Amino acid sequence: MAIEPCEMIYFRVMPDTSRYQGRIASSNEETIVLEPTDDTPLSVGPGKHIILSGEHFDYCTEVLTMEGANILLKPMWKEKRGYFRVDDIFPVRIQKITEKVPLKKSAIISRNVLETSDADQPVESVSPKLWKMLNTINTKLNMLLERLNLERAGLTTAENKAVNLSATGIRLSVQDRPEIADVVEVKMLLPTTPPVGVETYGKVVRVRDTDSEAYEVSLQFTDMEDELRDEIIRYALNRQRELMHKQRQQRGNNG
């Protein structure tokens, strides 16, 4: 099902989490013209990614240029709504929840903890050399705190697993067979720059025997915070773009 001219949609300018309303002014296989209908002024540069959410599909697009208030987009790919899926290999830990206790909120484990606010900008009483040194210390402390957070979560020693990941779920192989509707804790170290550790929960929706001594399990994420979902979407977009670039290179080499 293609996106249609005059269709009303929601869209997001990644990595921002804000949603805006818009209308598809025109579309074909090569370009989409998006007409924002919100009063919020938008100015996005070429290369930015915009997610268009239609009735049944999500569309990943790349900004080509602004045409007045409209945005000219290049479609990259589309999937069923909420299902930007990518294959990758990275550290994952999963653990079945056996006790009936309130689950913690999903969270980003590693994130810069010590931020530099506007109020902390250098003033005349602080020399530029001293300010640069303080910023260097701040950066090193951030790296240390992130490392400690990842160690506490067990992600620095977690096994690398082949996964198929989207913002709504994950598929991977496990050694112990779970039951349908089991709830598991999922911790992942997304291979972004820098790497981002995330913690959430998933419900087992599918279990399949494999030829090896393992089980292919599909999990549906539950009660995921928007911040974490958007982090996974950003990762998936970058990963998909990386894979598409490699495919173009291979076609060029084969040609």
pLDDT of residue 210: 86
Q: How confident is the model at residue 246 (pLDDT cuts 50, 70, 90)?
A: confident
* The model's pTM: 0.63
Please state, rounded to an integer, the average pLDDT across all residues of the chain.
83
Question: pLDDT category, 160, cuts 50, 70, 90?
Answer: very high
**8-80 matches 82-109+155-255 in fold:** yes
Domain boundary assignment for the chain: 8-80, 82-109+155-255, 112-152
pLDDT of residue 249: 82
Residue 63, C-beta contacts closer than 8 angstroms, at least 6 positions apart = 44, 45, 46, 47, 48, 49, 50, 71, 72, 73, 74
Mean pLDDT across the stretch 150-160?
83
Residue with tokens 């773009």: 241
Distance, CA of 16 to CA of 141 (rounded, Å): 26
The token pair at 184 is: 């598991």
Q: Which two tokens stand for residue 225?
A: 């915070």
pLDDT of 164-220, one tens digit each?
998 889 999 999 999 999 999 999 999 988 888 899 999 999 999 988 889 999 999
* CA separation for the pair 64, 57 (Å, rounded): 21
Helix, strand or coil for residue 251? Answer: helix
Q: What is the CATH number of domain 8-80?
A: 2.40.10
Q: What is the CATH number of domain 82-109+155-255?
A: 2.40.10.220
% of the chain residues with pLDDT over 90:
33
Could you give phi then psi for residue 113, rounded to 5 degrees? -90, -40
How is residue 248 written in tokens? Answer: 């173009």
- Res. 117 pLDDT band, cuts 50 70 90: very low
- What residue ranges in the chain does DSSP mark as E strands? 8-13, 20-27, 32-36, 49-53, 57-67, 70-80, 86-96, 107-108, 160-165, 169-174, 183-190, 196-209, 215-222
